[in-house]
Structure 1
């Protein structure tokens, strides 16, 4: 291997690492706030890419119908809970409007966008809106009632949700793979490297999102409430911070990050209905570097995973996935020494 090949592999590893970093950040965010090891994070990545691909082909994405089904199911739960708690009908009606308004509006606007033949950036915004709205609904349907359950119980639920979303992805999008057009077709030569516009967009979007998250957690009241919940859930609840609202917000952000990751990666690789699982698993390996609690360590782990995958594919392409996932074993051993487990109370 000479310097040119190493530089090309390094750039490829950093590009993939930027995507894994976004997924790892979402996993750390959800776990720190809700104690949920969010295995279905990868499904948001796949849904983001496949939703945009459907819009590009002039079809109404299956995620629109899934979003409507989730909203209706959440609305039914709200009505049942409201009647059980004997809330005023006006409060129940207001809850229904909050639950159904945005999904119904997106379902009505999507066919109009197809008739209008909306430009790519409008389709991107529509995709982000559709997939992001699924986040809090998923929390409401699958996790909110189990917020006080053990981590193991929440993990089992996450496995079930993953399989359910994967199956629905197969139903709505089929077994074919799709790619979306690049956001920027430019190409720049820097020494032995050839940088595409899409690569620069991946780096730029990742940096902007990281800075936005830092500003959100350090400068906004909602971000500080989420941060307080991640540090001490009981103390945050005693101070009046709603655990349900924090969980819903964390899932909203995770869905947005997942959808954005799918949009960024889909021009350079073919996305299938089950592709998100491998991407999410690599993001999980990166998140484990930080013990599912440290954002900076998760970022470092994501870069490491990307580089290991890239160089591993050069030396032993048939075993690159094995090499990446084997890395988690010494990391887990190291974490067990530096951060011994304490029983939950």
Structure 2
């Protein structure tokens, strides 16, 4: 291996690491706020990439109808809970309308817009609008009633949600994979390196989003509420912060990060309905490096995972996945020895 090959591998590793960083940040966010190890994070990557692929063909993606079905289910659940809780009828109706307005609007708009062959950027925005709200709705359906359960119970629920979403992905998109067009086809030569426009977009989007998340948590009231919930759930409740609202917001942000990751990685590799699991698992490895608690360490871990995967694909391509996932073992051992813990009550 000479310097030029090492440079190419490093660029490829950092490019993939930028995407893994978004998934790692989403994993840390969800776990710190809700204590959920969100295994289905990768499914949002798949749903995002493949929803855009369906829009590219001029057809209406089935994810539109899935979003509408989820919204109707959540609206019914919230209405029943509101009636049983003695809420005023006007508040119940307002909550139902708030839940249904976006899914219903998309169910009307997307079937009209899909055959129009709109620009790729518009289709990407439509994809974000379709898939991102699923995060909060899935939290309401699968996790909200178990918010105070143990981490093990929440992990079992995550496995079930992952299996369900994978099966739905097969039903929605079929077994064939899809590769989306690049958002920018230009190529730039820097010495021995040939940097694609898509790679620059991945760097820029990841960097901008990481900066936006930092400002969100540091400057906005919602971000501070999420931080407070992550630090002390009971204390946040006593201060009037809704743990339910924090959970829905955390899952919605995680879904947004997953969909954006799918849009960024879609032009660089063929995505299948089950591809999200391995992609999300690499983000989880980076999150474990951060102890599922530190956003800066999650970013560092993601870049490390990307570089390790890239160089492993050169030296032992058949075992690159094994090498990446095995790297989590010394981290777990080190953390276990460094931070011994007692039983969870």
Which TM-score tier does this pair reach, normalised by the shorter chain? over 0.9
Please say if 1:211 is aligned against 2:211. Answer: yes
Three-state SS of the structure 2 residue aligned to 1:256 is helix
Q: Displacement of 1:315 after TM fit?
A: 0.7
Residue pairs, 1:75-114, within 5 angstroms? 75-114=75-114
Does structure 1 retain, via aligned residues, the 8 Å contact 2:46–2:275?
Answer: yes
Aligned to 2:184: 184
Tell me the TM-score normalised to structure 1 length: 0.98
Aligned to 2:200: 200
Q: Displacement of 1:79 after TM fit?
A: 2.1
Gaps of 5+ in 2: none
Three-state SS of the structure 2 residue aligned to 1:334 is helix
Three-state SS of the structure 2 residue aligned to 1:188 is strand
Tell me the TM-score normalised to structure 2 length: 0.98
1:98 and 1:337 map into 2 onto residues whose CA distance is 48
Gaps of 5+ in 1: none
Q: Displacement of 1:97 after TM fit?
A: 0.3
Three-state SS of the structure 1 residue aligned to 2:189 is strand
Q: Displacement of 1:65 after TM fit?
A: 1.1
Does structure 1 retain, via aligned residues, the 8 Å contact 2:21–2:302?
Answer: yes
Q: Displacement of 1:95 after TM fit?
A: 1.4
Residue pairs, 1:1-345, within 5 angstroms? 1-345=1-345
1:338 and 1:246 map into 2 onto residues whose CA distance is 31
Does structure 1 retain, via aligned residues, the 8 Å contact 2:133–2:252?
Answer: yes
Deviation string, structure 1 residues 56-78 (Cα, Å, up to 9, x no partner): 00111111111011111111211
Three-state SS of the structure 2 residue aligned to 1:245 is helix
Deviation string, structure 1 residues 28-80 (Cα, Å, up to 9, x no partner): 00000000000000000000000100000011111111101111111121122
1:296 and 1:87 map into 2 onto residues whose CA distance is 42
Three-state SS of the structure 1 residue aligned to 2:194 is strand
Q: Displacement of 1:163 after TM fit?
A: 0.2
Q: Displacement of 1:117 after TM fit?
A: 2.5
Three-state SS of the structure 1 residue aligned to 2:291 is coil
Q: Displacement of 1:205 after TM fit?
A: 0.4
2:134 and 2:239 map into 1 onto residues whose CA distance is 29
Q: Displacement of 1:18 after TM fit?
A: 0.7
1:342 and 1:227 map into 2 onto residues whose CA distance is 24
1:170 and 1:115 map into 2 onto residues whose CA distance is 23
Does structure 1 retain, via aligned residues, the 8 Å contact 2:58–2:116?
Answer: no
How many residues matched?
345
Deviation string, structure 1 residues 60-119 (Cα, Å, up to 9, x no partner): 111111101111111121122122223322222111101111111111110121243321
Deviation string, structure 1 residues 191-212 (Cα, Å, up to 9, x no partner): 1110000000000000000000
2:169 and 2:118 map into 1 onto residues whose CA distance is 24
1:78 and 1:22 map into 2 onto residues whose CA distance is 31
1:35 and 1:212 map into 2 onto residues whose CA distance is 23
1:191 and 1:177 map into 2 onto residues whose CA distance is 34
- RMSD of aligned C-alpha atoms? 1.0
Q: Displacement of 1:10 after TM fit?
A: 0.6
Runs of 4+ aligned residues of structure 1 deviating over 6 Å after TM superposition are none
